[in-house]
Structure 1
Amino acid sequence: MYKLIAIYKIPNDIDAWEKHYSEVHTPLVKKVPSLKEIRLNRITGTPRGASDLHVIAELVFENKDDFKTGMSSEENMACGKDLFNFAKEIVSVHFAKEEVISL
């Protein structure tokens, strides 16, 4: 699996952020071609207590070609514009190739 991972710090106005993320940003993301699924990881803390992170979002693609298709799409460009309008100061974006280690 190939992923775009967005790591969000805790926003100043959590309610406004959540509203925008669910009502505006997520519908845009769902339009990205070849996207298999969206995984939201809501941060609940660290071994030492509180965290400065709010959400880690994973946009999952089946393979490298699907990832390239999604990332180069107009729909993804619209997501990027929206992302930097509502979360520019609190987000970092990363690309990853998932490796699974079996038990």
Structure 2
Amino acid sequence: MHRLLVLYPPPTDPDHFRSYYVDTHLPLVAKLPGLRGYRYSFNVATSEGESPYFCVFEADFDDAAAYSAATASPEGQATRADVPNYATGGAVVLNFELRAG
């Protein structure tokens, strides 16, 4: 399994982020070819102090090749191009292979 993890720092307009993300961005995400599932939360906390992130997103793909194909697809390009429309604080994008312990 291969995971995409996106960490979003606080945006300038949290209400706009929430509504745009749910109503516009996530429907684009749902169209990614090879997507096995996704999760997100606006309730990002740390064990101590304030979280540096406003939102967290995870998406799963069968493997790195499926992830690469999804991001290179027209749907992947549209999803990536949409990020500046809501993520005024930027985004930290990570992807990695999951291993069981």
Find the aligned partners of 1:8 and 1:89 in 2 and give their Cα distance: 7
Partner residue in 2 for 1:14: 14
3-state SS of 1:21 partner: helix
**1:29 Cα offset (Å):** 0.5
Partner residue in 2 for 1:3: 3
TM-score under structure 1 length normalisation: 0.86
- The runs of 5 or more residues in structure 1 that have no matched partner are none
Correspondence list, 1:46-85, <5 A: 46-85=46-85
- The runs of 5 or more residues in structure 2 that have no matched partner are none
The runs of 4+ residues in structure 1 deviating greater than 6 Å are none
Deviations 1:37-89 (A, max 9, x none): 11214444222222121122111102233222212110000000001332153
Number of corresponding residues: 101
**1:35 Cα offset (Å):** 0.4
**Higher strand proportion (structure 1 or 2):** 1
Equivalent AA in structure 1 for residue 96 of structure 2:
A
Find the aligned partners of 2:24 and 2:55 in 1 and give their Cα distance: 16
Query: CA, structure 1 residues 67+86, in 2 after alignment: closer, same or farther (shift >3 Å)?
Result: same
3-state SS of 1:31 partner: coil
TM-score under structure 2 length normalisation: 0.87
**1:91 Cα offset (Å):** 0.9
Structure 1 window deviating more from structure 2 (10-19 vs 30-39): it is: 10-19
3-state SS of 2:31 partner: coil
Percent sequence identity is 27
Find the aligned partners of 1:87 and 1:42 in 2 and give their Cα distance: 13
